Chains A and B, each alone.
Chain A
Amino acid sequence: MAKVKTLILRAPGTNCDWETAFAFEQAGSAVELVHINQFIRREKKLSDYQIMVVPGGFTYGDDISGGRILANELRLNLGDQMRDFVADGKLILGICNGLQVLVKAGVLYGLKGENRYPLTLFSNDSGRFECRWVYLRTNANIHCVFTHGIEKMYLPIAHGEGKIVTRSGISNAAVYYTDDKGRTDADYPHNPNGSIDNIAGVCDETGRVFALMPHPERFIRWTQHPRWTREPPSEVGDGFAIFTNAVDWAKSI
Chain B
Amino acid sequence: MSQLGQQHPGDLIVVAGGKTGRDGIHGVTFASGELTAESETVSSSSVQIGNPIVEKKLIDVLLRARDLGLYHRITDCGGGGLSSAIGEMGEETGARVDLDRVPLKYSGLSYTEIWISESQERMLMAVAPDNVDRLLELFSSEDVEATVIGEFTANHHLELFYEGQRVCDLDMEFLHHGLPQLEREAAWETPRHDEPELPPHPDLKQALLGILGSWNVCSKEWVIRQYDHEVQGGSVLKPLVGASNDGPGDAAIIKPLIDSDRGLIISNGINPKYGDIDPYWMAASAIDEALRQVIAVGGNLRRVALLDNFCWGNPEKPDRLGSLVRAAQACYDIALRYETPFISGKDSLYNEYETEDGSICIPPTLLISAIAVMDDTRRAVSMDCKQEGDSMYLVGETYNELGGSHYYSTYDRIGNSVPKVDPVKGKKLMDALSEATGKGLVRACHDLSEGGLGVAAAEMAFAGGLGIELHLDKVPLGEPMKRDDLILFSESNTRFLVEVPLSHAAKFEETLAGVSCTAIGRVTSGSRLEVYDLNGGLALSADIEELKEAWQEPLRW
Contacts and interface: CB of A to CB of B under 8 A. Distances in A.
Genuine A/B complex:
yes
A38 B227 CA distance: 31
B405 to A, nearest CB: 30
B245 A132 contact: yes
B226 interface: yes
B238 A15 contact: no
Range for the number of chain A residues in contact with chain B: 35 or more
Given A131-B226, A229-B241, A16 B231 contact: yes
User: Which of B52, B243, B258 has most chain A Cβ within 10 Å?
Assistant: B258
A163 interface: no
Interface in B160-205: none
Contacts, number: 101
B525 to A, nearest CB: 16
A12 B142 CA distance: 8
B225 A130 contact: yes
Interface string A197-238: 000000000000000000101111001101101100000000
A46 interface: no
A129 interface: yes
A19 B228 contact: no
A35 B53 contact: no
B377 interface: yes
B230 A218 contact: yes
B226 A130 contact: yes
B141 A37 contact: yes
Given A129-B226, A223-B378, A158 B231 contact: yes
A137 B542 CA distance: 38
Interface stretch (B20-28, B308-316, B379-387, B514-522): B379-387
Nearest to B224: A131
A132 B557 CA distance: 14
Interface in A13-48: 13-16, 18-19, 22, 35, 37-38, 41
A18 B241 CA distance: 25
Given A12-B56, A132-B245, A226-B241, A156 B142 contact: no
Nearest to B382: A229
Contact of B382 (A15, A218, A230): A230
Contacts of A14: 60
Contact of B381 (A61, A219, A229): A229
Contacts of A249: none
Contacts of B57: 12-13
Contacts of A126: 557
B232 interface: yes
Interface in A145-178: 156, 158
- In the A-B complex, list the 5 residue pairs whose CB atoms are closest, starting with the nearest: A19-B233, A61-B53, A158-B228, A229-B382, A218-B233
Interface of A: 10, 12-16, 18-19, 22, 35, 37-38, 41, 56, 58, 60-61, 63, 126, 128-133, 156, 158, 215, 217-220, 223-224, 226-227, 229-230
